[in-house]
Amino acid sequence: MLTAITSSLIIASSPTMAAQEQDTLKTFVPMASYDADLVVNTTGGLKTGACYVGYATLGIEINPWKHGTFNFMIGSTQGGYPTEDYVGDLQWVNSNEGGNHIFAINAWYRHTIGPVAITAGLQDMNDIYTTTEVAGNMMNSAFTMSNSFSVNTGMPSSPVTGLGVNVGWQVNDSFLWNFAAFDGKVYDLDDSNRFNLKYSLSKREGFILASEAQITPSQQPLTLKLGTYYHTARENWGIYAMAEGECARWGERKLEAFGTFGYSPRKSEQTVVSLTCGGKLTKVFSSKGNDALTLGLASAYLAGHPWESSLELNYRYDLWKYFFVAPDIQWVINPARVEGARNALVCSLRLGFEL
């Protein structure tokens, strides 16, 4: 996830941290980012070819008083759809795909009362739920969210975020519990929802209810997450579990690992099981420690289809304070979105800016 969004996520997901941070936060905090991706399907899939995918965000965070924060952010996607046009996979090879649109991402207010933080308004549900920080550099959408959750509920997530309320309770230093209720219907960014300002909030369309427990054992570089969700109209529900943390360290170089599991029992043309695993090695070639190599495997099972798997290798190098470059390779096995799609080798190059 982009640094501009992630920085807000880290504060929002921890009420105690939010209260402490706001003592030192500036009143106005600007946020901006841009990803410029060249995506090339070199072999297999639906057809070979290349396209451009761009994703920009611009926002501001306002801290008018000690325990309150406003967040406003807009976004823009540009370019094509390599997943639909070239690869044909269920797990999008580029999580920034969205066509050519300008839209609202965030318009929320968060208030902290002791160990409890309440966030209400237009927001990205994936900022808190099913996130994996260690896999944050990966381009495939399966590493940014649980496919069993997102596909079976239509999780409001960038570029199409949604209205919702989240309550985070920092029970103690090691235990954070989040509860949420979100609009159960999100509209694609077409002519009926050009700027992501169309919402339903009706019993007929339903609501997404979710709960996630985050456990960080004392004195351990480990984070565990256990969650569940239910869509009141679709009557879809599921569970997921995630783990990430540091495995080894050699001086300033460290190896981190992650693993996720998601399950939805409904037997239909939707994701039933989703799995990811992998690791990230920092300070690979740079003596300054401004690079990282991440390797991951993401698999998803749909009823009546073979497992779809994506093996991804990503290398990120920070060029200067605000700029980075990230080459990426993905081997997609059994693309499941379009019948007849062959195994594909997808190569990408990302040039990024983060404020």
Query: What's the pLDDT at 34?
Result: 98
- Residue 14: is its pLDDT beyond 50? no
SS3 letters across the chain: CCHHHHHHHHHHCCHHHHHHHCCCCCCEEEEEEEEEEEEEEEEEECCCEEEEEEEEEEEEEEEEECCEEEEEEEEEEEECCHHHHHHCCCCCCCCCCCCCEEEEEEEEEEEEECCEEEEEEEECHHHCCCCCCCCCCCCCHHHCCCHHHHHHHCCCECCECEEEEEEEEEEECCEEEEEEEEECCCCCCCHHHCCCCCCCCCCCCCEEEEEEEEECCCCCCEEEEEEEEEECCCCEEEEEEEEEEEEEEECCEEEEEEEEEEECCCCCCCEEEEEEEEEEEECCCCCCCCEEEEEEEEEEEECCCCCEEEEEEEEEEECCCCEEEEEEEEEEECCCCCCCCEEEEEEEEEEEEEC
> Rounded distance, CA 103 to CA 307, Å?
34
Average pLDDT on 69-85 reads 97
Q: CA-CA distances (angstroms) from residue 223 to 101, 144, 194, 247, 257? A: 36, 16, 38, 12, 11
Q: pLDDT at position 200, please?
A: 83
Give the Cα separation of 238 and 208 in Å (integer): 11
Res. 13: pLDDT tops 60: no
pLDDT the model gives residue 269: 56
Least confident of 127-141, 187-201, 249-263, 295-309: 187-201
Task: Write down the pTM of the prediction.
Answer: 0.89
Query: What does the mean pLDDT of the chain come to?
Result: 90
Residue 340 has pLDDT above 90, yes or no: no
- Those residues whose C-beta lies under 8 Å from the C-beta of residue 191, and which sit 6 or more positions away, are none
Reply yes or no on whether the pLDDT at 168 is more than 60: yes
Residue 18 scores a pLDDT above 70: no
**What is d(CA 146, CA 131) in angstroms, rounded to the nearest whole number?**
8
Q: What is the pLDDT of residue 24?
A: 54
- Which whole number is the average pLDDT over 163-171? 98
Q: Is the pLDDT of residue 118 over 70?
A: yes
- C-alpha 303: how far from chain center: 24
The pLDDT assigned to 267 comes to 57
Average pLDDT over residues 177-192: 90
Mean pLDDT of all residues in 221-230 = 96
pLDDT at 22 over 80: no
Strand 116-123 and strand 162-172: the pairing is antiparallel
CATH 2.40.160.180 fits 3-354, yes or no: yes
The answer on pLDDT for 195 being more than 70 is yes
Instruction: Express as a percent the part of the chain with pLDDT over 70.
Output: 92
pLDDT at residue 11 greater than cutoff 50: no
Rounded mean pLDDT of 244-264?
94
Predicted pLDDT of residue 199: 87
Q: Where are the domains of the chain?
A: 3-354
Average pLDDT of the residues in 184-195: 86
Mean pLDDT lowest among 3-12, 30-39, 93-102, 272-281: 3-12
User: Is 347 in contact with 329 (CB distance < 8 Å)?
Assistant: yes
According to the model, what pLDDT value does residue 190 have? Answer: 77
Q: Give percent of the chain with pLDDT exceeding 90.
A: 74
- In the chain the first and final C-alpha atoms are separated, in Å, by 14
Contact call for residues 149 and 262 (beta carbons, < 8 A) = yes
Residue 266 pLDDT greater than 80, yes or no: no
Task: Kindly report, residue by residue over 293-313, the tens digit of the pLDDT.
Answer: 999 999 999 877 889 999 999
Q: Is the pLDDT of residue 268 over 70?
A: no
**What values do phi and psi take at 20, rounded to 5?**
-70, -45
Q: What are the Cα distances from residue 22, in Å, to 3, 16, 292?
A: 19, 10, 30
